[in-house]
Amino acid sequence: MRLYRGFGALPAGFGPAVVAMGNFDGVHLGHRAVIDGTLASARSRGVLATIVTFHPHPLRILAPERAPLLIQSLEDRLACLDGAGIDAVVLVPFTRLLAGVGAETFVQEFLLGRLRCVELRVGGDARFGRARTGDVGLLRRYAATGAFALDVADSVVEDGVRASSSEIRRRVLAGDVEGAREMLGRPFSLAGEVVTGAARGRRLGFPTANLLPDAAIRPAPGIYAAVASAPGVRAPAAVHVGPVPTFNVVSPMVEANLLDFHGDLLGARLRLDFKARLRDVVRFADVDDLKRQIAIDVQATRDVVGDVDDSR
């Protein structure tokens, strides 16, 4: 996959291209329907399958107080797009200057001029251009002139609910990682660097890797069964998310006890693929009660995850 950081980074003569445009946060089943259609059409036409996406999220610039917690880091989003088989991604820096570009100028200068778009694929709620005046209606008018073909993707519905980034965020924040997985088509994950912790888990006999996640979103406080992956390591993990009331720690933590792993992951990149929520975070009367419960959590994690080679 070729990555271009902005329309200005595109080489002269780029395209022609079938283009899918959107934020693609989470690269969920709805996004995958758009991406798969883009790939199929591009292959049949013999042109480039191209994604146009934006960073940071437009609301982060235009209305920070309403900006959503992103499901993925930018790195993970790009990795998912790469894994889908896309030829090129145009990662557009979202700025107030870009937000001020008129919708028709956006279509003419960027989609038609820079990308040589022969087919555009979007979701039904697509918005772009100054004051969000660009919409499916405007795109249909261009398509009617023969400027490009237009495909407006149908919603993907899971158990009667439309797959969307906002619904996935709602489920993750509620601790419903299994429900999030249904819409993502893969486990919800957190990834980041393992940092120094307080070594409480080690003293209890259950050492943990303390994760500093890249993405802002966290599941609801609780104990989770997950699969942990790091360079050379893949193991079931019992994961604590949230405060640690037994030790009067109010700051939220992400601590993973990798089962049957005895190495040092400090400084390593770690990914946690969440499988199930096991229980709430609670305050225990003493350390012995906590240790007994952790042992129960470890066994429950084994029961949920099973063989990690079969748990992807």
Domains of the chain: 2-162 (3.40.50.620), 188-310 (2.40.30.30)
Angstrom distance (rounded) from CA 236 to CA 61:
39
Q: Residue 184 burial (CB < 10 Å; 0-12/13-18/19+)?
A: buried
Q: At what angle do helices 29-45 and 177-184 cross, to 10 degrees?
A: 10
270: left (phi over 0), alpha (psi -120 to 50) or beta: beta
Output the pLDDT for position 203. Answer: 86
H/E stretch holding 44 reads: helix 29-45
What separation in angstroms does the CA of 25 have from each of 18, 79, 164? 20, 12, 9
Angstrom distance (rounded) from CA 7 to CA 94:
11
Beta strands 149-153; 117-123: pairing state: parallel
**Per-residue confidence in pLDDT tens, the chain, 312 aa:** 999 999 999 999 999 999 999 999 999 999 999 999 999 999 999 999 999 999 999 999 999 999 999 999 999 999 999 999 999 999 999 999 999 999 999 999 999 999 999 999 998 889 999 999 999 999 999 999 999 999 998 888 888 899 999 999 999 999 999 999 999 999 999 999 999 988 788 888 899 999 999 988 999 999 999 999 999 999 999 999 999 999 988 899 999 999 999 899 999 999 999 999 999 999 999 999 999 999 999 999 999 998 886 544
Output the pLDDT for position 136. Answer: 95
Instruction: Provide the 3-class DSSP secondary structure of residue 171.
Output: helix
Output the pLDDT for position 43. Answer: 97
* Residue 137 in tokens: 């209606």
Output the pLDDT for position 26. Answer: 94
User: 């601790």: which residue's tokens?
Assistant: 175
Angstrom distance (rounded) from CA 269 to CA 209:
11
**For the whole model, what pTM was predicted?**
0.90
CB 275 within 8 A of CB 269: no
Instruction: Provide the 3-class DSSP secondary structure of residue 144.
Output: helix
